[in-house]
Amino acid sequence: MLKGKHILLGITGGIAAYKAANLASMLVKLHADVHVIMTKNAQQIISPVVFEALTGNKVADDVFDRNSGYQVAHIAMAQEADVVMIAPASANIIAKLANGIADDMLSTTMLAVTAPVYLVPAMNTHMLEHPATQANIARLKTYGYHIVEPASGFLACGDSGKGKLPEADELVEYLLYEAAYEKDLAGKKVLITAGPTREALDPVRFLTNHSTGKMGYALAKDAVRRGAEVVLVTGPVSLPAPLYAKTVPVTTAQEMYEAVNAHFDGMDIVVMSAAVADYRPSHTAAEKIKKTGNASVLELERTTDILASMSARKNGQFLCGFSMETEHMLENSRAKLAKKNLDMIVANSLRMEGAGFGTDTNIITILTKDHTQELPKMSKDEAAHAVFSQILRLL
């Protein structure tokens, strides 16, 4: 996803510097060309050898290094960067950048950077909350720096509070947003549903299905990375909220219907990837079971078909459904495409290995009225990308 992208990673002397190794490794796995500048203090915490082994590039730490491989290293490194991230960013580098101080390789290079910069402050809570640090951060925002909010939790100094370096996968998400794809969905409003729904049998038990939400969340991330304005209506899942998407949590099919209905007008693209429970216990059945303790009286009623309801009141939206089939995948999916009057349906078979619930991969077939595109097994991220690429071709 980051092939051909040049990422400059600045590492300063916070204890979280060791976590930057994981970040560098993840970026290399995404095929980025990662170049690292470390401060002298960062090298007290983690050796530059770690980053040289992970990235295959020499770590820069000295403006006057005659063996850097560059003619004027700080200018060349600044100009080559597509995006810059300083993680962890200490109070010291924040103060230097806010005041234009250039007294080492990192601070000097940063003055010459014109690419987008993400600063990830990580330090003791009191240092972070000090008015000087807060004033410096506020000033850096006015210079156009992106500040990634530190996480809260148990800090290395023994205190608890704000100041932790966020997990590497969260930091990678900012870089993917900045550099992974062209913004070919810019200006588009996209509504996505994800995850399962739950229908209560009583205050303790519920009916649900095996959906983990991975496909829907991959769709939301892909749309955000391509510049769309995204609303994600999600059933209960244990996935982190996608960056920059408006996430609307719901539990039941009725709540999902209401959330989709409330956001539907003004959307350009609606993708229903949620595994909505088709049935819920009728109230009377649930009450009867409670009274009698006899589960054989359980009666089910159909939930509202959200997709069909939206299709009936469509006013310009591109409507894409998902279908999960155990047999006759193409015939059943084609029938749903027609019955629900959709622009597209993405079919996947629950019987194929590497497709369906819980896996990180999927095997999808994209169907429209006159076109069938069978895709090989791929990651859910890649499948999501293929879905939006196909939608873009048809818009």
Binding part of the chain for ligand CTP, among 58-66, 120-128, 268-276, 372-380 by CB under 6 A, reads: 268-276
For residues 237 and 212, the answer to whether their CB atoms sit within 8 Å is yes
Cα–Cα distance between 217 and 235 in angstroms, integer? Answer: 11
Binders of ligand CTP in range 326-385 (CB under 6 A): 336
Nearer to ligand CTP, 97 or 215 (CB): 215
Q: Is 174 in the site for ligand CTP (CB under 6 A)?
A: no
Q: Is 258 in the site for ligand CTP (CB under 6 A)?
A: no
Binding part of the chain for ligand CTP, among 205-213, 224-232, 317-325, 375-383 by CB under 6 A, reads: 317-325
Q: Is 165 in the site for ligand CTP (CB under 6 A)?
A: no
Q: Is 233 in the site for ligand CTP (CB under 6 A)?
A: no
Nearer to ligand CTP, 134 or 372 (CB): 372
Judged by CB under 6 A, which of 90, 212, 323, 348 binds ligand CTP?
323
Distance from the first to the final alpha carbon of the chain: 24
Binding part of the chain for ligand CTP, among 50-58, 160-168, 271-279, 381-389 by CB under 6 A, reads: 271-279
Please work out the total of residues on this chain that contact ligand CTP, with binding judged by CB under 6 A.
14
Q: Is 322 in the site for ligand CTP (CB under 6 A)?
A: yes
Q: Is 93 in the site for ligand CTP (CB under 6 A)?
A: no
Q: Is 278 in the site for ligand CTP (CB under 6 A)?
A: yes
Q: How many CB atoms lie within 10 A of CB 193?
A: 31
Residue 170's Cβ-count burial label (10 Å; 0-12, 13-18, 19+) is middle
Q: Is 19 in the site for ligand CTP (CB under 6 A)?
A: no
The active-site residue out of 30, 157, 298, 300 is 157
Q: Return the structure tokens found at 23.
A: 């970040």
CB of 331 to ligand CTP, least distance (A): 12
Q: How many CB atoms lie within 10 A of CB 162?
A: 18
Judged by CB under 6 A, which of 305, 330, 375, 378 binds ligand CTP?
305
Nearer to ligand CTP, 47 or 208 (CB): 208
Q: How many CA atoms lie within 13 A of 303 on its CB side?
A: 24
Nearest to 234 by CA among 221, 246, 245, 249: 249
Q: Is 303 in the site for ligand CTP (CB under 6 A)?
A: yes
Q: Is 253 in the site for ligand CTP (CB under 6 A)?
A: yes
Binding part of the chain for ligand CTP, among 7-15, 234-242, 299-307, 349-357 by CB under 6 A, reads: 299-307
Q: Is 272 in the site for ligand CTP (CB under 6 A)?
A: yes
CB of 317 to ligand CTP, least distance (A): 14
Q: How many CB atoms lie within 10 A of CB 102?
A: 17
CB proximity list for 128: less than 8 A, separation 6 or greater: 91, 121, 134, 150, 162, 163
CA distances from 294 to 202, 204, 279, 288, 299 (A): 13, 16, 19, 8, 12
For residues 164 and 16, the answer to whether their CB atoms sit within 8 Å is yes
320 is catalytic: no
For residues 153 and 163, the answer to whether their CB atoms sit within 8 Å is no
Nearer to ligand CTP, 169 or 331 (CB): 331
Judged by CB under 6 A, which of 274, 319, 337, 364 binds ligand CTP?
274
Q: Return the structure tokens found at 24.
A: 């560098």
Q: Return the structure tokens found at 134.
A: 């807060």
Cα–Cα distance between 258 and 260 in angstroms, integer? Answer: 6
For residues 32 and 84, the answer to whether their CB atoms sit within 8 Å is no
The verdict on whether omega for the bond into residue 116 sits within 30 degrees of 0, i.e. cis, is no
Judged by CB under 6 A, which of 81, 113, 276, 391 binds ligand CTP?
276
Radius of gyration of the chain from its Cα atoms, rounded to whole angstroms? 25
Binding residues for ligand CTP (CB under 6 A): 253, 272, 274, 276, 278, 303, 305-307, 321-324, 336
> Which residues are tagged catalytic?
157
